[in-house]
Amino acid sequence: MSDLIASENTALDFPELVAGLNQYLRLRTTPIGMKLFETAGEMEAIPRIRRPSAIHTTDQIVGMATRNGWTVGITADDLVGAQCSTVIGLHPRSEQWLSGDRMHGVWFKELEDARAHQEAMDVVEHGRFEAMAVSPLASGRLNPPDICLIYATPAQMILFINGLQWTGYRKLEWGCVGESACADSWGRALSTGEPSLSIPCFAERRYGGVMEDELLMALPPHFLPKIIAGLAALSSNGLRYPIAPYGVNNDVRAGMGVSYDS
């Protein structure tokens, strides 16, 4: 990608970055960060960290940050089961987990399909981390997060991607495991360091408060300056959000001449 991507060691102004995203995309959901910690003590040292008093899904923990604006930290003991904790590296990809037996007959007709689903999921390697925290990106409390989570409508998301591709273009390709789509977003981004788009799954919407018209992009924060610079350039070319409908019956030549220099 372009050298406009900030170095991973570059200090980022997260309030300014969030302001830029909101300026160009008018996001309605709080952009957040997610960070893994080698010890629970490191996580608990975050200023104003909240610790759950009940058992949750990771979707709910993410939702507490994106919908409530909270800073929340967890260990595997706070999560409902291995499906959640394995994605973020807090539980091993055990043979029982890989078997898919808990999804057999619920999400997949055949046990072999349930197992294939588990095998296909992108997860963080187990053994290094024992805690995770999420926090609104603008708070700067994770300093810096490992990844950012950006919820957006399809129209906002395509412009976000266009901003990413403004310089250093490459075709972006993602997958879809279906249920457990957190593996497509934060699982993949944490394990590969690459921008990772997902269609949030049933559990994310039912338990995490994700709205029915939202997509999720997870990516390391050092991509954000490049994206906002791209969005600014696109905006100056008249390519901005909201995308005003041109009209299905109008003569298209005037509009195309502006947007595509035809």
pLDDT tens-digit series, residues 18-77:
999 999 999 999 999 999 999 999 999 999 999 999 999 999 999 999 999 999 999 999
Q: What percent of the chain has pLDDT over 90?
A: 91
Judge contact between 27 and 150, C-beta under 8 A.
yes
Biggest CA–CA distance in the chain, Å, is 63
User: Is it true that the peptide bond before 145 is cis, omega within 30 degrees of 0?
Assistant: no
Whether residue 5 is contained in a domain is answered as: no
Name the pLDDT band for 184 (thresholds 50, 70, 90).
Answer: very high
Angle of CA points 184, 114, 127, to nearest 5°:
55
Name the pLDDT band for 9 (thresholds 50, 70, 90).
Answer: low
Judge contact between 33 and 145, C-beta under 8 A.
yes
pLDDT at 2 over 50: no
Provide the domain count of the chain: 1
CA end-to-end distance (rounded Å), the chain: 28
Whether residue 252 is contained in a domain is answered as: no
Mean pLDDT for the stretch of residues 73-94: 97
Whether residue 1 is contained in a domain is answered as: no
Whether residue 254 is contained in a domain is answered as: no
pLDDT at 44 (0 to 100) = 98
Name the pLDDT band for 7 (thresholds 50, 70, 90).
Answer: low
Name the pLDDT band for 3 (thresholds 50, 70, 90).
Answer: very low
pLDDT at 225 (0 to 100) = 98
Taking alpha carbons only, the member of 58, 110, 63 closest to residue 82 is 58
Q: Is residue 19 within a helix (H) or strand (E), and if so which, with residue range?
A: helix 14-25
Whether residue 52 is contained in a domain is answered as: yes
Name the pLDDT band for 17 (thresholds 50, 70, 90).
Answer: very high
Owning domain of residue 23: 14-243
pLDDT at 132 over 60: yes
Whether residue 208 is contained in a domain is answered as: yes
Q: How far is CA 252 from the centre of its chain?
A: 36
Taking alpha carbons only, the member of 157, 170, 219 closest to residue 192 is 219
pTM of the model: 0.94
Mean pLDDT for the stretch of residues 126-136: 98
Whether residue 99 is contained in a domain is answered as: yes
Whether residue 205 is contained in a domain is answered as: yes
pLDDT at 102 over 60: yes
